[in-house]
Amino acid sequence: MNTINAILEFNPELLVYLFIDVVIAILLLSTMRYIMGVMGKIDTTEELAKRDNFAYGISMAGSVLAMGIVLTGAITGESANNYLNEIIGMSVYGIAGLLLIKAGRWVHDKFSLGQFNKAQLILERNTAVALTDAASAIATAIIIRAVLIWVEGFGISTFIAILTGWLISQIILVLVSRIREKRYNQSNVAGFQPALIQGNVALAVRYSGHLIGTAIAVTAASHFVFYDPEYLVAGLLSWFGISLIMMVLLKVLAHIAKRMVLMGIQRDVEIEQQHNVGVASIEFAINVSIALVLSALMA
């Protein structure tokens, strides 16, 4: 009976906010498919349903999930004060998130994995490249979401903070990519990127775990830095510094956890030479799990 009364006393305005957010979210999620098609000059129906291109589907799934993650940071609910503000806020932040995700993919293609044509390889059904593409979009979205939740208000300083937060995320993710590539190249004749071109899915899964895990760990900075437009530069510099610390901490703790969980298994041999997706998946899970624990503890 108490449950029924609670439902009846539920504020009907919340349902209107919910309706607004859901409609805008669906429209923006749908937009991701058409943007990928238009920008890539590709018939998405042809790739997904006729050619059954799994790699293209994985890449698009990463975009859709990334958009959904960003939208959870754009939702303001009753704090928007009125319906119009909610529509404007959700739409503007959602579109900004969409553009930043696309820009983040460009940065990843240009500076992290710049030795090959990602779009062409995905059209050629390269699942490994598609996985790294999806992971980069998701990682970028996770950090953008944290920045959207961190900032307050709706002004120039807010968008400067969001753009700078995005820039910090790209620096961190490119740094992770360079570290992973250097480590791989030290113990393998063939380079890291050529291995992805050749379709090493296990390597792509492990690399994706590093990207997404780092993004989650970096969001912990939002729990330490207070947003103040008057001290925006200091706040963002603090965010960057804490992000670097969290990245190092994640690497150390994840390394210890992997040695314990996968004791007796030559992880590099299994993943890099034998393409063992199972072992790579466990490493992915460990990276993300440790990052989630760190983020929760810092909160």
Which string of DSSP letters, residue by residue, matches 107-157? HIIIIIS-SS-HHHHHHTT-HHHHHHHHHHHHHHHHHHHHHHHH--SSSHH
Q: What is the pLDDT of residues 246-268, one digit of tens each?
A: 899 999 999 999 999 999 999 99
- The pLDDT of 119-146, averaged and rounded, is 93
Tell whether 5 is covered by a domain.
no
Tell whether 1 is covered by a domain.
no
Tell whether 2 is covered by a domain.
no
Q: Which two tokens stand for residue 19?
A: 């309706």
What pLDDT does residue 8 have?
45
Q: What is the pLDDT of residues 209-228, one digit of tens each?
A: 999 999 998 888 777 777 77
Tell whether 63 is covered by a domain.
yes
Tell whether 170 is covered by a domain.
yes
pLDDT category, 21, cuts 50, 70, 90? confident
pLDDT category, 79, cuts 50, 70, 90? low
pTM score of the predicted model:
0.89
pLDDT category, 77, cuts 50, 70, 90? very low
pLDDT higher than threshold 60 for residue 1: no
Question: How many whole angstroms separate alpha carbon 85 and alpha carbon 121?
Answer: 42
- Only one residue has tokens 């992971």, namely 135
Tell whether 255 is covered by a domain.
yes
Residue type, 121: L
What pLDDT does residue 164 have?
85
Tell whether 180 is covered by a domain.
yes
Residue type, 205: V
Domain that holds residue 135: 10-298
Number of domains comprising the chain: 1
What pLDDT does residue 9 have?
55
What pLDDT does residue 76 have?
56
Tell whether 148 is covered by a domain.
yes
What pLDDT does residue 23 have?
86
What pLDDT does residue 237 have?
85
